């Protein structure tokens, strides 16, 4: 399979998944999520020739998505979590995400960046081993972290 065909297949297969993660990371702002997903696939194309097949395409794309989201921190300032309490999802940016789902992204958006990405991988039903492989976190530590993030999310949701 040529590099271009491989890329097309990866793009076709994972664009929905990548977009949803980006949407969660950008707190439901679909325009920002579109830009971020484009950046994920630009990075994917640039890294494709070095893909060694040690992990599946799926794990690899998740890793590039997570890393690209975090790399965004170089461009925008990190917001302290407590300041996110009053953040509402951009009402003009919900052309893709339905209104019913805005609260989902708003709740996720109130978490710190790393917690946000972690919980989205859990919601995407990745196994703990896969998440540990993507993030490079020790599996024991990961279980504790995910438990903590779930508790935080529960608290956020019960306050709404």
Please state the closest distance from residue 64 (CB atom) to another protein, in A: 6
Residue 20 and residue 149: Cα distance in Å, rounded?
Answer: 19
Q: Which candidate, 57, 66, 87, 33, places its Cα nearest to that of 136?
A: 66
**Half-sphere exposure for 88 (CA within 13 Å, toward CB):** 4
Residue 76 and residue 71: Cα distance in Å, rounded?
Answer: 9
Residue 29 as a binder of another protein (CB under 8 A): the answer is no
Q: Which candidate, 90, 80, 129, 97, places its Cα nearest to that of 21?
A: 97
Tokens of 99: 């209104």
Residue 11: is it exposed, middle or buried by C-beta count within 10 angstroms (0-12/13-18/19+)?
middle
Residue 53: is it exposed, middle or buried by C-beta count within 10 angstroms (0-12/13-18/19+)?
exposed
Please state the closest distance from residue 86 (CB atom) to another protein, in A: 21
Per-residue interface string for the shown chain with another protein, residues 48-87, x marking contact by CB under 8 A: --xx--------x--xx-xxx-xx-xx--xx---------
- In the range 99-138, which residues lie near another protein by CB under 8 A? 100-101, 104, 107, 112-115, 120, 123-125, 133-137
Q: Specify the residue, 54 or 92, whose C-beta has the smaller distance to another protein.
A: 54
Residue 47 as a binder of another protein (CB under 8 A): the answer is yes
Please state the closest distance from residue 7 (CB atom) to another protein, in A: 6
Residues within the interface to another protein (CB under 8 A): 4, 7-8, 11-12, 15-20, 23, 34, 37-38, 41-43, 45-47, 50-51, 60, 63-64, 66-68, 70-71, 73-74, 77-78, 96-98, 100-101, 104, 107, 112-115, 120, 123-125, 133-137, 141, 150, 153-154, 157-158
């Amino acid at each position: 399979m040529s590099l271009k065909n491989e890329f097309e297949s990866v793009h076709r297969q994972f664009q929905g998944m990548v977009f949803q993660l980006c949407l969660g990371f950008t707190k439901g702002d679909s325009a920002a999520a579109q830009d971020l997903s484009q950046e994920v696939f630009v990075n994917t194309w640039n890294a494709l020739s070095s893909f060694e097949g040690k992990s599946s395409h799926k794990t690899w794309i998740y890793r590039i998505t997570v890393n690209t989201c975090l790399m965004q921190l170089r461009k925008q300032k990190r917001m302290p979590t407590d300041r996110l309490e009053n953040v509402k999802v951009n009402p003009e940016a919900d052309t893709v995400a339905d209104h019913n789902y805005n609260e989902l992204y708003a709740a996720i958006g109130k978490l710190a960046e790393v917690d946000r990405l972690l919980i989205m991988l859990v919601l995407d039903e990745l196994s703990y081993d896969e998440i540990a492989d993507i993030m490079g976190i020790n599996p024991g530590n990961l279980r504790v972290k995910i438990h903590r993030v779930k508790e935080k999310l529960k608290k956020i949701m019960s306050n709404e």
